[in-house]
């Protein structure tokens, strides 16, 4: 019946993983403690994040070095 269209073009196009979401440290402006947030969640205009330890943090200015690192995020 149908023609022999068995020769499909290879559809194994690999989607390049854009900026692999590696965790980043974000300082909580309220406590000056640096928590770790999944990189994929980071957005330029976002102010609050859910840290890996489960804490909700408010991103401080990027120039704030923070005073401590969250022990739970550091696992
Ligand atoms: Zn934390």
Residue 25 Ramachandran class (φ > 0 left, ψ -120 to 50 alpha, else beta): beta
Q: What percent of the chain has pLDDT over 70?
A: 80
- Distance of CA 71 from the midpoint of ligand 1 (Å): 7
- Alpha carbon distance 45, 48 (integer Å): 9
Low-confidence ranges of the chain (pLDDT < 70): 1-3, 5-6, 15-21
| pLDDT, tens only, 4-13 | 766 777 777 7
pLDDT for the residue 20: 62
What protein residues have CB closer than 5 angstroms to ion ligand 1? 35, 51, 53, 70, 72-73
Judged by DSSP in three states, 41 sits in helix
Alpha helix ranges (H) inside 4-68 = none
- Distance of CA 16 from the midpoint of ligand 1 (Å): 30
């Amino acid at each position: 019946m149908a023609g022999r269209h068995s020769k499909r073009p290879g559809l194994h196009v690999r989607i390049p993983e854009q900026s692999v979401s590696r965790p980043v440290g974000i300082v909580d402006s309220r406590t000056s403690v640096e928590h770790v947030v999944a990189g994929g969640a980071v957005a330029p205009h976002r102010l609050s994040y859910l840290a890996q330890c489960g804490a909700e943090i408010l991103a401080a200015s990027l120039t704030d070095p923070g005073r401590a690192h969250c022990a739970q995020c550091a696992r």
